[in-house]
Amino acid sequence: MMQYDLVIVGGGPAGLAAAVAAKDHGVDSILIIERDKELGGILNQCIHNGFGLHTFKEELTGPEYASRFIDQVLERGIEYKLNTMVMDISADKTVVAMNREDGMIEIKAKAIILAMGCRERSRGALNIPGYRPAGIYSAGTAQRLVNMEGYMPGKEVVILGSGDIGLIMARRMTLEGAKVKVVAELMPYSGGLKRNIVQCLDDFDIPLKLSHTVVDIEGKNRVEAVTIAEVGPDRKPIPGTEIRYTCDTLLLSCGLIPENELSKSAGVALNPITSGPIVGDNLETNIDGIFACGNVLHVHDLVDYVSQEATTAGKNAALYVQNGAAADAKTVEIVPEGGVRYTVPKFIRPTEMEDNLTVRFRVGDVYKNMAIATYYDDELINKRKRPVMAPGEMEQVILSKKKLAEYPDLTKITIRIEEV
Amino acid sequence: MYDVAIIGAGVIGSAIARELSKFNANICVIEKEEDVCNGTSKANSAIIHAGFDATPGSLKAKLNVRGNEMMDSLSKELDIPFTRNGSLVVCTKDQDRNGLVELLEKGAANGVPGLQIIEREELIKMEPNLSDDVTCALFAPTGGIVCPFHMTMAFAENACTNGVSFYLNTKVTDLQKCADGYVIKTLHTDTNTEEIYEAKVVINAAGVYADVLNNMVSSRKLHITARKGEYCLLDKDAGTHVTKTIFQLPSKMGKGVLVSPTVHGNLLVGPTAIDVEDKESLNTTQDGLASLALTSSLSVKNVPMRQVITSFAGLRAHEDGNDFVIGEAPDAKGFVNVAGIESPGLSSAPAIGEMVAGLVKDMLALTEKAEFVGTRKGILNPAALSIEERNALIADCPAYGNIICRCEMISEGEILDAIHRPLGARSLDGVKRRTRAGMGRCQAGFCSPRTMEILERELPLTMYDIGKNGTGSAIVIGKNKEI
């Protein structure tokens, strides 16, 4: 059996940043396991720019952003295995992995960082009725075909869902010669970043139809037409509002799902809202020595935040490798309320946490001129006005260790959206 | 001239081909789709029924019970994934339990072993997720679940190994009686060229199109209605929600739907039943899919419909006479109908194969073939191997160490096997049905570009020839900026 201090499952942005941080905090025995043929994860197919504004203060493409971290991994001599699939993780931190050269290998780790990322919601999971011809792709699959393989999946396109990948692909397909006829979004607001609506749809005169969904797919071999209809407040289609678009392609950008099948096999407890592990301020799961970061933990809007979060996970995994399990400390739960859907982390240890801890979350609706309020038990501690908040963009609250020290009897922290 | 031409490479045509390949005869199978198992055989409940449902004395009753009996040995000989998980027909408090008694009596008359009625107290220990309204159920220990793709492919591959020729993408356009048998006119759907086959005996195993073929040569007209059934397939996480196949006692509300584990560990809910005009009408509908959640809740509670990974529709070939139509058409010598094969058609398939081969053997005075190979190995399932065995396999063939489908953990080795075995896969769906690559929770989002690469590398196909499922279903249509 092979032995490493730290095994990182996934060599995308989360795994890379976590590896760098762990190494910089003194762990030498690190193995990154990546299932694809290169490091960098999904960033490799995100050839548009807009990455790294927070981290590097410049606009990079996805592969450029990834290469900055890949370089850091290489400079530090961190080991990695490509084309290697992790088949199983057990609660005692034995990782079973497989590739062509090594066959099936068992690796005993002192600590594990889960950084497997997420997958796209499929047509099946959306239960869209109609035929099942060729020509229906998740936006990410189309992105891989176009950006990495150089092949066009179709020439007349309807897109369901206004998630960021769908918006980016509306522009990409247009630039590569296809006609994007419409983007339909079930919700009354977009699931993507505002800047992507402007730069990818508005700039190309692609209509966005909010509160619309696909109600029929025609075509027995290849998609021939897609019908969309308006939905009411119950999100059910309104009869008589159908619009039929002839097209050969339907792209789906209807949400991302953290890939936690391995986490489950290790006994990691998941939050049903995020579909990611429940973690404390050090990003450790309920299983000692198993940490999580990036889109496997919760789906992020910007990769910069993934890198920040992964750095925290890498540092804490290093502490675990060096010092063993953290001493029992008091924990305080963070309760999301009034429009706040969840928080990561789910709880904090006021005596052990970092001096300033970033708590990230998403809201459940569009809020204009409202405020994010933080309560220590019933006492309002902070209220920050936000002109616009939307489910497509992450929000944050920073908790101060110093301030928390003034509340030794604190039982819970509540974060909610309120009137200003 | 062929001795026998079988039209249709579904489970029925394939089962007949396999049984007939035991004899010295020149046999072909003609199929309009690009692959075997591409019609009703690919979209159904995947159940081997016990056989208590059909009217005693009917072909359905006789062949179902016989087919069920044959599955133990057949699944071993042909390496078909099959489990006798048992089935329950549940009765709710608003229903007359005499319905169960009637089924039990029919089952006894049909020769179904082990049937018993079980009361709620005992029942709930067997299946804790039965609905609170369930009062009792008919338990059939011989009920089973099967992989319909592998069952069909097992028959077809074994027939192919034993010398049967398969013509795929070949659609029969006309049938004419000639001196020694029949002239079969076909159109190749890929090349649009006409080809003619001749056979002494024609077997009509054309599913929902069996009436069209029969009516070309016989004045005894058949009428087959395509009866659509919609299904939802749930994630493996939901696969143990029930362990037995849960049927509903038919009521005023209709025949009900089943909730069943599949042999691969998913959960299946369906089917609806709606007669349709179009024999290609394989679309799911909003109403149909919505009704499944409601109807299934009558027998099983808390079915996690949020975990649906795909939905699909299949067409039952319902003949007006309500029984299988098997035998030589009275006014068309040498033309054998195997029509109206709706439920329990999959369960009956092995017995139908046996029966029809028997008929044809007598018609043509066929002799047994000494060199018949009776066994077939399915695609290796590396997950069933120990780590040591798996490492030996990978050392020998590194492709088994390369996972292509992340969700179902399917390796390149399995995909290569699927492509290169008899009647191998040529499309994404062909690979999917043979290996399960692309059949998991992401529904081929990650693996389809990689599977396409493998197909392009291994077969004389360009990327533009690679389809989801045959002619006209290309995945990509050109290079960037060149469409």
Residue B446 lies in a domain: yes
Strand order in the sheet with B47-48: B47-48, B144-146, B82-83
Burial A306-327 (b: 16+ CB within 10 A, else e): bbbbbbbbbbbbbbbbeeeeee
User: Longest Cα pair distance anywhere in chain B, in angstroms?
Assistant: 68
The reply to whether B232 and B292 lie within a common domain is yes
* Per-residue confidence (pLDDT) for residue A14, from 0 to 100: 98
Give tens-digit pLDDT for B28-75.
Answer: 999 999 999 999 999 999 999 999 999 999 999 999 999 999 999 999
Cβ A130–B473 below 8 Å, yes or no?
Answer: no
The reply to whether B244 and B290 lie within a common domain is yes
Cβ A124–B398 below 8 Å, yes or no?
Answer: no
Cβ B401–A133 below 8 Å, yes or no?
Answer: no
> Chain A contacts of B446, Cβ < 8 Å?
119, 141
d(CA B309, CA B326): 37
Give tens-digit pLDDT for A264-316.
Answer: 999 999 999 999 999 999 999 999 999 999 999 999 999 999 999 999 999 99
Q: Give mean pLDDT, residues A35-61.
A: 95
Q: How far is A410 from chain B (nearest CA, A)?
A: 37
DSSP codes, A275-304: TEE--BTT-B-SSTTEEE-GGGTS--S-HH
Residue in A closest to B438 by C-alpha: A122
**Burial class of residue A355 (count of CB atoms within 10 Å of its CB; 0-12, 13-18, 19+):** exposed
Q: Are B253 and B295 in contact (CB under 8 A)?
A: yes
Residue in A closest to B311 by C-alpha: A124
**Dihedral angle, C-alpha B310, B311, B312, B318, nearest 10 °:** 140
Q: What is the DSSP letter of A121?
A: P
Tokens standing for A406?
A: 């003034």
* Per-residue confidence (pLDDT) for residue A191, from 0 to 100: 86
Q: Which of A98, A140, A152 sits opposite B403 (nearest CB)?
A: A98
Q: How far is CA B51 from the centre of its chain?
A: 17
The reply to whether B184 and B247 lie within a common domain is no
Residue B466 lies in a domain: no
* Per-residue confidence (pLDDT) for residue B255, from 0 to 100: 78
The reply to whether B179 and B207 lie within a common domain is yes
Q: Are B465 and B474 in contact (CB under 8 A)?
A: yes
Q: Which of B286, B309, B387 sits opposite A125 (nearest CB)?
A: B309
Cβ A122–B446 below 8 Å, yes or no?
Answer: no
Tokens standing for A96?
A: 């079973």
> Chain A contacts of B286, Cβ < 8 Å?
129, 215, 237
Q: Which of A147, A213, A221, A223 would best serve as a mutation to test chain B binding (most B beta carbons within 10 A)? A: A221
Please list, in sequence order, all residues whose beta carbon lies within 8 angstroms of the beta carbon of residue A358, skipping any fewer than 6 positions away.
Answer: A308, A396, A397, A398
Cβ A103–B308 below 8 Å, yes or no?
Answer: no
> Chain B contacts of A146, Cβ < 8 Å?
480
* Per-residue confidence (pLDDT) for residue B26, from 0 to 100: 98
User: Longest Cα pair distance anywhere in chain A, in angstroms?
Assistant: 67
The tally of domains found in chain B comes to 3
The reply to whether B136 and B240 lie within a common domain is yes
d(CA B186, CA B5): 12
Q: What's the pTM?
A: 0.95
Q: Are B180 and B199 in contact (CB under 8 A)?
A: no
Give tens-digit pLDDT for A349-408.
Answer: 999 999 999 999 999 999 999 999 999 999 999 999 999 999 999 999 999 999 999 999
Q: Are A138 and B445 in contact (CB under 8 A)?
A: yes
> Chain B contacts of A134, Cβ < 8 Å?
467-469, 473-475
ipTM of the complex: 0.94
The segments of chain B whose pLDDT lies below 50 read none
* Per-residue confidence (pLDDT) for residue B302, from 0 to 100: 97
Shortest CA distance to A216 belongs to which of A127, A126, A123, A130?
Answer: A130
Residue B68 lies in a domain: no
Give tens-digit pLDDT for A152-172.
Answer: 999 999 999 999 999 999 999
Q: How far is B407 from chain A (nearest CA, A)?
A: 9
Residue in B closest to A223 by C-alpha: B473
Q: Are B159 and B8 in contact (CB under 8 A)?
A: no
Residue in A closest to B469 by C-alpha: A221
* Per-residue confidence (pLDDT) for residue A125, from 0 to 100: 87
Q: Which of A100, A103, A154 sits opposite B390 (nearest CB)?
A: A103
Cβ A132–B282 below 8 Å, yes or no?
Answer: yes
Q: Give percent of chain A above pLDDT 90.
A: 95
Q: Are A184 and A209 in contact (CB under 8 A)?
A: yes
Tokens standing for B362?
A: 């007598």
Q: Are B55 and B63 in contact (CB under 8 A)?
A: no
A189: phi then psi, degrees, rounded to nearest 5: -140, 165
Split at pLDDT 50, 70, 90, the class of A193 is confident
Indicate which residues of B carry an active-site annotation. Answer: 49
Q: Which of B390, B406, B470 sits opposite A104 (nearest CB)?
A: B390
Shortest CA distance to A268 belongs to which of A420, A93, A47?
Answer: A93
**Burial class of residue B331 (count of CB atoms within 10 Å of its CB; 0-12, 13-18, 19+):** exposed
Residue B73 lies in a domain: no
Write the CA distances from A90 to A48, A109, A235, A287, A420, integer angstroms.
38, 10, 41, 10, 48
> Chain B contacts of A177, Cβ < 8 Å?
480-483
Q: How far is B35 from chain A (nearest CA, A)?
A: 14
The reply to whether B258 and B388 lie within a common domain is no
> Chain B contacts of A138, Cβ < 8 Å?
445
d(CA A374, CA A383): 6
The reply to whether B411 and B451 lie within a common domain is yes
d(CA B450, CA B466): 12
Cα angle A37, A38, A42; round to 5: 100
Instruction: Provide the residue range defining the domain that includes B406.
Output: 382-458
Residue B402 lies in a domain: yes
Cβ A85–B406 below 8 Å, yes or no?
Answer: yes
Residue B482 lies in a domain: no
The reply to whether B215 and B334 lie within a common domain is yes
The reply to whether B213 and B97 lie within a common domain is no
State the CATH number of the domain containing residue B302.
3.30.9.10
> Chain B contacts of A141, Cβ < 8 Å?
444-446, 448-449
Give tens-digit pLDDT for A111-128.
Answer: 999 999 999 999 988 889
Cβ A103–B401 below 8 Å, yes or no?
Answer: yes
* Per-residue confidence (pLDDT) for residue B253, from 0 to 100: 66
The reply to whether B240 and B125 lie within a common domain is yes
Residue recorded with tokens 């795929």: B168
> Chain A contacts of B480, Cβ < 8 Å?
146, 150-152, 176-177
Mean pLDDT score across all residues of chain A: 96
Residue B472 lies in a domain: no
Cβ A127–B308 below 8 Å, yes or no?
Answer: yes
The reply to whether B159 and B22 lie within a common domain is yes
* Per-residue confidence (pLDDT) for residue A325, from 0 to 100: 87
* Per-residue confidence (pLDDT) for residue B308, from 0 to 100: 95
Q: How far is B458 from chain A (nearest CA, A)?
A: 18
DSSP codes, A50-93: EE-TTTTSS-EEHHHHHHHHHHHHHHTT-EEESS-EEEEE-TT-
Residue B469 lies in a domain: no
Q: How far is B141 from chain A (nearest CA, A)?
A: 32
Shortest CA distance to B236 belongs to which of B67, B98, B383?
Answer: B383
The reply to whether B166 and B140 lie within a common domain is no
